[in-house]
């Protein structure tokens, strides 16, 4: 299953190019990119699940957000980010951006000769398992919800589960401002959760990489509204599990017994990025390097 998440279910030529290419050096780093800093929650999950793997992270801060761009523009930006990471010698790429995962993932898999994983498919697969045929609620940005990517990903896993999507755009600035607890985030979260809980969702997917910072508030408000706990699926953790399974099955886990290195690259405003990024990463930051695409 994890291999399928990396390789996709597209034409045989795509699968061959993405998955049947020569294996890379297992000591090479993983590449991760996002339009900004939200993807650092995926890096955080990867560093917990695969502590010995080295990671190169790219935040395209010069062009954030991607959610307001056309699909063709998002594809062009994503290819630029991926090619920069390939120049750094990565053995695989994790697209830690729901927008890119929704509209550009298949093109990346066609164009690149390393495995490519998005954040939507692993989260959808985890939700299907947890829902056991029940309704799946998804909180996401307006662009992600409008794309229909989660209903498609869930349908590819199971025809038994219905998806209820709810755009929750205010959760992004709350996470970036560090307003993750207290009355303001609680009331905002409650407003977004009300229709999801009313629809009898059996599980709720955090469909944006910013949302794990509000995990406790979302969990508590969902339980308050429903009168019982509702499981949450953290897409970052689900993605980390999918990466770990794929690397293990391919024999490409690093053999290093030391803590993996972390490179942080941005395309603009490295100081501003660094001021916020530590909350998302959950550990002290290395030096942030500015690069050009």
Q: Is 19 a catalytic residue?
A: no
Secondary structure letter of residue 253 according to DSSP:
S
Dist. CA 39–CA 85, nearest whole Å: 15
Of 99, 173, 178, 103, give the one whose Cα is nearest residue 142: 99
Which of the following is catalytic: 7, 19, 81, 97?
97
Catalytic residue check, 208: yes
Largest CA distance in the chain: 53
Say how far apart CA 83 and CA 88 lie, in whole Å.
Answer: 9
Cis peptide before 231 (omega within 30 of 0): no
Catalytic residue among 7, 19, 81, 208: 208
CA distance 187 to 201: 19
Cβ–Cβ under 8 Å, residues 226 and 197: yes
Residues tagged active-site: 97, 208
């Amino acid at each position: 299953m994890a291999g399928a998440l990396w390789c996709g279910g597209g034409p045989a030529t795509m699968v061959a190019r993405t998955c049947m290419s020569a294996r890379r050096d297992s000591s090479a780093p993983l590449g991760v990119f996002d339009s900004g800093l939200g993807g650092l929650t995926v890096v955080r999950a990867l560093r917990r699940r695969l502590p010995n793997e080295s990671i190169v992270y790219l935040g395209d801060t010069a062009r954030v957000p991607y959610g307001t761009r056309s699909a063709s523009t998002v594809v062009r930006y994503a290819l630029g980010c991926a090619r920069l990471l390939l120049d750094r010698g990565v053995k695989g790429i994790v697209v830690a951006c729901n927008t890119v995962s929704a509209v550009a993932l298949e093109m990346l898999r066609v164009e690149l000769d390393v495995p490519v994983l998005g954040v939507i498919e692993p989260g959808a697969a985890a939700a299907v398992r947890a829902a056991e045929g029940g309704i799946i609620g998804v909180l996401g940005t307006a662009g992600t919800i409008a794309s229909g990517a989660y209903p498609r990903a869930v349908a590819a896993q199971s025809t038994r589960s219905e998806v209820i999507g709810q755009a929750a755009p205010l959760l992004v600035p709350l996470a970036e401002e560090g307003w993750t607890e207290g009355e303001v985030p609680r009331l905002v979260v409650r407003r977004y959760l009300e229709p999801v809980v009313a629809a009898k969702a059996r599980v709720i997917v955090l469909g944006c990489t910013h949302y794990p910072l509000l995990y406790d508030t979302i969990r508590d408000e969902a339980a308050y509204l429903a009168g019982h706990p509702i499981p949450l699926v953290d897409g970052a953790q689900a993605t980390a599990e999918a990466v770990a399974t794929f690397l293990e099955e391919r024999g490409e886990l690093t053999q290093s017994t030391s803590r993996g290195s972390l490179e942080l690259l941005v395309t603009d405003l490295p100081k501003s990025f660094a001021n916020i990024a530590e909350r998302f990463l959950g550990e002290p930051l290395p030096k942030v390097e500015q690069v050009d695409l």
